[in-house]
Amino acid sequence: MPTDTSQAGGVMIGSNRNGSIRVSITRTCESGTIDEAVLEWVKGQNRYCFDMTCEATLSYFVSCPKAMLSSIKHVTLTRTMMASDDYDNYAYAKDLARKLQQEVVLESITLAVPHDNELLDIKSDEFEWWMWTLHQGAIDGFKEGRIATVRFLFRTLYTTVKGVKKFRAYREIQLRVVGQEYEDWLDTCIRARDEEGFDDSIVQETPEEHLEGMWEQLEYIIEIDKQREDEEGTVLILRHR
């Protein structure tokens, strides 16, 4: 909880016991609802946590001086933001992803991921409607060397899952890292199967096997981050081998 707060004109600034500064901005939308944007900054560590929509975060990055942008080293994008990464907010998410990919150099970025309903005993369609626009921007920034590590956060702590490959997000991350090369291979296989007289028995590997083969040739690894904070859930980390 904040130990000291001040408020003026819809902006509340609070300092926490851990030395972080929490800025809460509220505004009344045309519909009459209250939109709240929260930015948390850990002094001395250059850690920023954005608990707001894609639009609000994009506005922050657009107005942020270059000197301040260059000081940002760790970014967390919460489930609030991920939940707004849908079709209606695609333009904001795409522009924000581009900024994260091209205009900052980060030691780490943490993004929430949708519920893995193959591991959780819940009904969730988040994997179907989350667009992964921001995740893709972070992955592209990682591949270009502008982001050192990408952390994918599940809100649930999995204590019984031993194999990281059991996570549905693991395969999703793999696919987004290898990108078009895998899609081209898959298209080639589909066209070949459509040809008259094609013998399916000559196919030497499944799509899953081919993806794993491509992955083994890359200098990347996906693993469970054992250095996570106590209050976090399970974290998959994408890093260099």
The predicted-structure confidence for 148-162, as pLDDT tens digits, reads as follows: 999 999 877 776 677
For 47, which DSSP code?
Answer: E
CA atoms within 13 A on the CB side of 144: 15
- Sheet strands side by side (includes 235-240): 2-8, 11-16, 20-28, 34-42, 47-51, 74-77, 106-112, 147-153, 235-240, 220-224
Sort strands 147-153 and 2-8 into parallel, antiparallel or unpaired: unpaired
Report which of residues 108 and 228 the model is more confident about: 108
User: Residue 111 forms beta bridges with which residues?
Assistant: 77, 152
d(CA 143, CA 90): 22
Q: What is the 3-state secondary structure (H, E, C) of 147-193?
A: EEEEEEECCCCCCCCCCHHHCHHHHHHHHHHHCHHHHHHHHHHHHHH
Report which of residues 96 and 41 the model is more confident about: 96
* Residue-level pLDDT at 121: 63
The average pLDDT across 129-149 equals 92
Q: Which of 50-54, 111-115, 204-208 has the highest mean pLDDT?
A: 111-115
Residue 109's identity, in one-letter code, is I
* Residue-level pLDDT at 174: 93
Report which of residues 123 and 47 the model is more confident about: 47
CA atoms within 13 A on the CB side of 115: 10
Confidence of residue 123 (pLDDT cuts 50, 70, 90): low
pTM, two decimals, is 0.78
* Residue-level pLDDT at 120: 63
* Residue-level pLDDT at 199: 58
Confidence of residue 56 (pLDDT cuts 50, 70, 90): confident
Nearest to 78 by CA among 22, 18, 21, 154: 154
d(CA 45, CA 178): 32
